Structure 1
């Protein structure tokens, strides 16, 4: 296996690539200079911190600590997804339950199938991949749902006035939101290997693993992400649409 090593000097030189982004932001007056610099600092600090934390957890190899770390990942992903919901009546527990269920079910099936083992070095990275992709999908679901409720407010009100329950009045919006949330993952699955070599496959190949062996893991990852994003989007969507109605089954949100 190839010995992959990046020196500190190489990292400093790679930092020069950031200057390209800073230069473009400045030249085109995009106003992103501060955001880019903050992103770079946070990237370094967060990754250094999590690197030492993971090193300790991997050496400890304790199931409870591993589960706790996975829950921290799920909590942070849920918080980010929650913040992306424009609805003022949003509820954090809905985002948390959606990501928790998608992560737990997908991870559980992978462990039962023997695809991964109950080791911190496998459970924690896979949990992160599942939770992060669910977070993105759920965020898309939330934004699409809010836009749809805003644009189709009158149609929803008309359905309610004709006696339709809130689920029936919102069904087309719910379906549209879930489709939007899942579409990026589906598109990625269609083009994997033709347009891109995704993270896990590229990492294994870069580390010297046989490409055919790496492909097996990438296929598993794509199946995993399709499952996680679909489950997370459905759970989040079915929770979220109810937040647009009050206890009297009336549409209740600021369309502006």
Structure 2
């Protein structure tokens, strides 16, 4: 099977018309997003162009330590973005970093040890990016739900504390709901994969000329790993972050 995908500079230029459509809709409907869309587009082009040259070098060198350093860079960047998405005044970067690092490396380790993934830059770095980005999104959802639930259920939490509950018991229902919210998009995506959506991994491999049957096997593996990383990441982020809503005297902080 030969690949029919041929993206030239001219075709990329024409595809920019799609961005113009989005900007046109924003302008017509007065959404105020035209500037953000343009900035996002420019950043995407610059960032992707730079990372292409970096990846080309890393893949050619094929050094274990350089590969690990690149994966650590991805995880650190994802952790910082997840940390910024936490609306709470009381938060710590280490919570996001530990959640994403552990969920990513545990999932990555299982794939490498099982033989599903070879420890080479072209595979490890790509999969690390997929895992870390999904963990980042899930953790961001967990943070936002924690913050809103602690605000909405403040009185209930105070009552539980007054009745003698410790901070974990007082926050248990909020914590469980936040983890569930974080995991739900990945679970829903897994339910509809192949029926509604044809994900990027499978589509990319088919574009590259890989037999669809083999491409589907890779996509099944991706589905498994995303379920793992979002659940592990959300649990670690949730259990390490809810404590920051309480002070040393186990009293609920004021937001």
* TM bracket (short chain): over 0.9
SS in 2 for 1:14: helix
Cα drift, residue 5 of structure 1:
2.6
Partner of 2:172: 171
Query: Does structure 2 retain, via aligned residues, the 8 Å contact 1:77–1:132?
Result: yes
State the alpha-carbon separation in 1 of the partners of residues 31 and 88 from structure 2: 28
Cα drift, residue 205 of structure 1:
1.1
Q: Which stretches in structure 2 are left out of the alignment for 5+ residues? A: none
Cα drift, residue 253 of structure 1:
3.1
Partner of 1:34: 35
Question: Pairwise mapping of residues 1-256 of structure 1 onto structure 2 (< 5 A)?
Answer: 1-3=1-3, 4-254=5-255
State the alpha-carbon separation in 2 of the partners of residues 19 and 41 from structure 1: 13
The TM-score normalised by the length of structure 1 is 0.98
Cα RMSD of the aligned pairs, angstroms, is: 0.7
The TM-score normalised by the length of structure 2 is 0.99
Cα drift, residue 225 of structure 1:
0.1
State the alpha-carbon separation in 2 of the partners of residues 67 and 2 from structure 1: 33
Cα drift, residue 2 of structure 1:
2.3
Cα drift, residue 127 of structure 1:
0.3
Q: How many residues are paired up?
A: 254
SS in 2 for 1:5: coil
Cα drift, residue 208 of structure 1:
1.6
- Consecutive aligned runs of 4 or more in structure 1 exceeding 6 Å deviation: none
Query: Does structure 2 retain, via aligned residues, the 8 Å contact 1:87–1:253?
Result: no
Query: Does structure 2 retain, via aligned residues, the 8 Å contact 1:88–1:253?
Result: no
State the alpha-carbon separation in 1 of the partners of residues 253 and 104 from structure 2: 31
State the alpha-carbon separation in 2 of the partners of residues 234 and 218 from structure 1: 24
1:18-53 alpha-carbon deviations (Å, 9 max, x no partner) = 110011000000000100000110010000000000
State the alpha-carbon separation in 1 of the partners of residues 204 and 189 from structure 2: 18
State the alpha-carbon separation in 1 of the partners of residues 117 and 159 from structure 2: 50
Cα drift, residue 61 of structure 1:
0.2
SS in 2 for 1:146: helix
